[in-house]
Amino acid sequence: SSLRSTTILDKQHPVDEWTNITSSIISKIPLRLHTKTGHPLNTLRTLIETHFSGFSHVSSFSPVVTPFKNFDELSFPPDHPGRSVADSYYINKDLMLRTHTSAHEVEMFRKGEDKWLLTADVYRRDEIDASHYPVFHQVEGARIFDATPTGMQEVREDNERLASQLARSNIIIEDIPHISPTNPVQSLHDPEFVQLVAANLKLSLNGMILKLFGGASDVPLRVRWIEAYFPFTSPSFEVEVFYQGKWLEILGCGVVVNATLDTAAVQNKIGWAFGLGLERIAMVLFSIPDIRLFWSTDQRFLSQFEQGKITVFKPYSKYPACYKDVSFWLPSESKLHENDFCDLVRDTAGDLVEDVKKIDEFVHPKTNKTSLCYRINYRSMDRSVSNEEINSIQSQVVQQLKDRFNVEIR
Ligand code: PHE
């Protein structure tokens, strides 16, 4: 970039060779959809908050964080792929946009909070289609207990209370052991306590899932627990819900790594944390067919929702799509990450791009050059677009490709 600084939330930041944040991403930062009354993302987060009674709520943290806070403080190894400029948005070498709400775990625990929820916008470079968007929203939740006999008794009693609530409901849970050789207890932890904490985590989340997906249906709700890995929890789990004929992955969670609590100066406690993405869940609960719709300011979208209520969205019409292909040779030795291509398109076309697919790739045997062909599908959520308008966007995309990646159009 030829710019020497970039302005984010009214603050100027120097740019450097790490900078990869685009203006289309910067324009989303002030919007904070999860705080807009009536917005489905806000309704969903409120429903989650009412399930976790007694938990404090926070939703005001800035997305601009240090890589230290997003990764190192959470025990990510130095070579973790999530750190790469291909996967995360960097403002410069020392500042980035958080990739998950876990970035604030240490900060929350340091405040002395034992039960908390945090909702925020998070940013990840990714492909483009109906269910991926580089900005999305997560809810993080955590609960910690005193690592004492009294604390243990408290968990036991809470587990009994939660289990008796679930026993009366129409839910089938496919569970796995709380602890296994591949999903171990941390060396500092008492396995008996971890069993209780993991049970508390599962009971709390099964209850939340039942509240969100259970409805009044006479068909039992199916939930399954899967072993997972996160650098900042052990044991770790993922949860899937069987909904409308498909298994839907809804969250990651686990027993908080002791180093996190240590960094937060919290001593002699043990507990759990979870993080869930709001968009995927809201898309199925409200029947929202495309993730871009959350960003729509069209009244035909916004007026269909009422704060606190899950209602079925009725698409107001699907405007015609229009696809354009672009084929090009990459200069030899050079690489174009798919996420770079997607950000370039996103930055030029904004929310008019619905889908980007690589439809061809080969290496010329003599020149060793790579040929790529991408198909870009354009469609507006709100109006018809003319072929001329799309042609003009497409030619800007082609120009940007030439200017920034030095490609040779075929
Ligand atoms: N931060 C994780 C993610 O974004 C989710 C998570 C949160 C997992 C808390 C464990 C504990 O995928």
Q: Tell me, what's the pLDDT at 332? A: 79
Distance CA 369, CA 265 (A): 54
Atom 2 in ligand 1: residue holding the nearest Cα: 275
From the CB of 253, is ligand 1 less than 6 Å away?
A: yes
SS3 percent helix, strand, coil of the chain, rounded to 5, is 35, 30, 35
From the CB of 67, is ligand 1 less than 6 Å away?
A: no
- Testing ligand 1's pocket by substitution, the residue of 65, 99, 102, 122 carrying the most ligand atoms inside 8 A of its CB is 102
Distance CA 210, CA 221 (A): 7
Atom 4 in ligand 1: residue holding the nearest Cα: 100
Find the largest Cα–Cα distance for the chain: 73
Atom of ligand 1 nearest to the CA of 122: 4
From the CB of 275, is ligand 1 less than 6 Å away?
A: yes
CB 64 within 8 A of CB 8: yes
**CA 266 to ligand 1 center in whole angstroms:** 20
- Testing ligand 1's pocket by substitution, the residue of 116, 140, 230, 249 carrying the most ligand atoms inside 8 A of its CB is 230
Q: Tell me, what's the pLDDT at 3? A: 64
Q: Tell me, what's the pLDDT at 391? A: 97
Residue 365, both tokens: 């045997």
From the CB of 69, is ligand 1 less than 6 Å away?
A: no
Reading the chain (410 residues) residue by residue, the pLDDT tens digits are 456 899 999 999 999 999 999 999 999 999 999 999 999 999 999 999 999 999 999 999 999 999 999 999 999 999 999 999 999 999 999 999 999 999 999 999 999 999 999 999 999 999 999 999 999 999 999 999 999 999 999 999 999 999 999 998 999 999 999 999 999 999 999 999 999 999 999 999 999 999 999 866 678 999 999 999 999 999 999 999 998 889 999 999 999 999 999 999 999 999 999 999 999 999 999 999 999 999 999 999 999 999 999 999 999 888 999 999 999 999 877 788 999 999 999 999 999 999 999 999 999 999 888 999 999 999 999 999 999 999 999 999 999 999 999 999 99
Q: How far is CA 256 from CA 109, 110, 298, 390, in A?
A: 11, 14, 41, 49
Distance CA 202, CA 200 (A): 6
| pTM of the full structure | 0.94
- Classified as helix, coil or strand, 34 is helix
From the CB of 100, is ligand 1 less than 6 Å away?
A: yes
**CA 253 to ligand 1 center in whole angstroms:** 6
- Testing ligand 1's pocket by substitution, the residue of 48, 80, 100 carrying the most ligand atoms inside 8 A of its CB is 100
From the CB of 142, is ligand 1 less than 6 Å away?
A: no
Residue 277, CA atoms < 13 Å, CB-side half-sphere: 23
Distance CA 340, CA 249 (A): 26
